[in-house]
Amino acid sequence: MQSLAMIENWPVPTAAAAVVLADGTVAGTAGPTGQRFPLASVTKPLAAYAALVAYEEGAVELDEPAGPEGSTVRHLLAHTSGLAFDEHRATAAPGTRRLYSNAGFEVLGDHIAKATDIPFAEYLRQAVLEPLGMTSTTLDGSPAKDGVSTVDDLARFAAEVQAPRLLDARTVLEAMSVVHPGLSGILPGYGHQKPNDWGLGFEIRDGKSPHWTGSTSSPRTFGHFGQSGTFLWVDPDAGAACVALADRAFGPWAVEAWPPFTDAVLAELRGTRR
């Protein structure tokens, strides 16, 4: 895909990208797709997927208590537990505000580790990484932000999310559907969004503006970006997903570069299907 070559003009030392179609076909790649990059918050969808495996295995229930009083596993996954961004303290009642929370995912990881009697990083490896052949991916700390992976591995994950093998398709559909619709909140790096829609571990684009995806991305697009200069989106209407990893922290360069890149990818996908 020629559009992927746009990463060569990004003001970063190194970048890599891939587009994965709904049938799992890798439509194109660019850059060193086998190089490991810190994922930052792109770790969260991986952690969420492991949590959903634990749910399907019967180790946890989505609506069982977890986190602050009144909070559940579902609240933690959807950033509505009331926990602060990076502090293990409640700042709102569960279900009343969309408070993006690294602490919430850390509590989630601890909860699953206790329920399964397996350290969360090991549970993630057994439940998600190993079955998908993601041999270059590790979780080296917080389930909110300390994953390290490659474009090649995340392409495997993008294929799984589009055509699930590890989870029931209905569970994945729930994960990409809005939890607690209508809640407003801050989308890190992009300011206040009303509403700030989120699924179970995946951010949902809907009508957010500004946003890190493209102006032509469908409202059903879901995924995540990371402060280390990384993103993964899945656009069900386009029948494709895109992974991009870089080694420069998120900032104005990404705000400027990512949306036109996504629009170019989507335009090329539409053109090849005519």
The 3-state secondary structure of the chain reads CHHHHHHHHCCCCCEEEEEEECCCCEEEEECCCCCCEEEECCHHHHHHHHHHHHHHCCCCCCCCECCCCCCEHHHHHCCCCCECCCCCCECCCCCCCECCCHHHHHHHHHHHHHHHCCCHHHHHHHHHHCCCCCCCCEECCCCCCEEEECHHHHHHHHHHHHCCCCCCHHHHHHHCCCCCCCCCEEECCCEEECCCCECCCCEECCCCCCCCCCCCCCCCCEEEEECCCEEEEEECCCCEEEEEEECCCCCHHHHHHHHHHHHHHHHHHHHHCC
* The pLDDT value given to residue 14: 98
What confidence tens digit (pLDDT) does each residue in 163-214 have? 999 999 999 999 999 999 999 999 999 999 999 999 999 999 999 999 999 9
Average pLDDT over residues 115-139: 98
* The pLDDT value given to residue 273: 62
What confidence tens digit (pLDDT) does each residue in 64-100 have? 999 999 999 999 999 999 999 998 899 999 999 999 9
Average pLDDT over residues 54-72: 97
What confidence tens digit (pLDDT) does each residue in 219-261 have? 999 999 999 999 999 999 999 999 999 999 999 999 999 999 9
- The whole-chain average pLDDT of the chain stands at 96
Categorize the per-residue pLDDT at 149 as very low, low, confident or very high, splitting at 50, 70 and 90.
Answer: very high
Average pLDDT over residues 12-18: 98
* The pLDDT value given to residue 272: 75
* The pLDDT value given to residue 21: 98
* The pLDDT value given to residue 98: 95
Asked whether residue 116 carries a pLDDT value surpassing 70, the answer given is yes
* The pLDDT value given to residue 271: 86
Categorize the per-residue pLDDT at 274 as very low, low, confident or very high, splitting at 50, 70 and 90.
Answer: low
Domain 2-272: assigned CATH number:
3.40.710.10
Asked whether residue 131 carries a pLDDT value surpassing 80, the answer given is yes
